[in-house]
Structure 1
Amino acid sequence: MTIMCQKLALAVCLIASLIPSKVFAASIWLKSGQVNGLLPPGNPTKGRLNLFDDNITYWTTGESTHLLKSTAFTDSDFAKARGIGCTASDICGRAKLIIPDSAWGGNLEADSDARWINWHSSSTGTSFGLPAASVLYAFPFTVSIPIENIASASIDFHAKVDDFLGDPNGPNPIGVYINGQPLNNSFGSNVGNPLSASQTGIEDLLISGENTLYVYQRDAGSVVSGSIFSAHIDVKPVPEPLTILGSATALGFGALLKRQQSRKQKKN
């Protein structure tokens, strides 16, 4: 390698080390059934039925087999799930961990850290998804990247729900929402069928600061009800101008170095 090539290589290294890279992606995990920031071992037992989820709140009317609402959800409905604007006919509160019914097939294979929840738990019977009801859950999360700096975002979602995730033939067929906006048609499922759904291009649904993931649990059988879910939201930022400049500069020096080597080979 000539002295010129050595200098060019050294210049590339110096530029790469001097130009800062501040491209930090946000990886957000939202799991049902977390208590005191930790996962409780196994399932709750009869002596531990009053375990409240750290993050998830809900809105329900307490009625089984019925639609939670006969028309499309509105902003006020989503607010109720966050505990805002609930009236005497509404039941709002914090989600509870429950012992899953044997028919539900245990916890999620995709995420063993998630746990079953319901709006209420009962100490009678062999299952604790009682009383059964249609419920809208709210799970807040924070996006720390300024919205103008978000290049792309996606969500991967795994769940089991008794009986349905969303209304199969009702006014709210989608069972998962971000900030009140429904996700695509894959975010719906019936009892006994674990659901895996994903969607790219959700950056337009996000805001800087606090956001909310909503999950709609639709009861149809009036026996037991419950949900378990895990969501992974991946947010990728736009590279900063200095990072782009550094990459372009490094590529330019690389091309120049190649030309220098090519000329040397031709002379030889």
Structure 2
Amino acid sequence: MLSTQRSAIAALAATSGIMALAIGPADAATVSGGVSLTGDVNIIRSDSGQVTFDFTGSPNGIVTGGTGDFSGLSSAVVSDLTFNPAGSSPSGPLFRADPLSTFIDFGAQTINGETNGLTFALTSPVQVVDLFESGPLTAFFTDKPLRGQFIFGDTTTAAGLLTAQQVPGAGSYSMSITTEPVPEPLTILGSTSALAMGALLKRRQARQASS
């Protein structure tokens, strides 16, 4: 019994040490909140079936709203997206663009006393629906959330939506991205500790059953 208790204490101590190292310095460089952008876009259809969102203007990303750590932002540089045909949906044809390491660049920012470059990376493909296959009106919207990470020293998982529309002579887009909540450090630690205790108890029960 004493050896089992000592094993449990050792396992919990090791787990606590690992978690302390994992959640310590990273917290200072993460961000939280949401940001909305808008701007001009030129939607280009190629003969091969590709669709390109050419974000135009200077700046080509204007921040129209920000919450939390993004409340002080004003503009950004948005990289173009090129989509390939990807099947169809009840709403219209689907198009998909590859992940992009720097989709949005907000430049150097100071957040919570720390200064770093702030960017947003697309970590998953972007899938949009084409509402009008042909004609003078063009409109696309994401049928699944944008998935990515804000990078500010460390990374913060985020998700968002993108729409783009164009009439002859003018096109515009709008986009909103919000950070996703992460488990509290104590919650993570408690869950990991419970798993360690459960594994020790299972081994003890197995030994008792075999003796």
TM class by smaller structure: 0.3 to 0.5
More strand by share: 2
The structure whose RCO (Cα within 8 Å, separation 6+) is larger is: 1
Instruction: Flag the structure with larger Rg.
Output: 1
TM-score by length of 1: 0.31
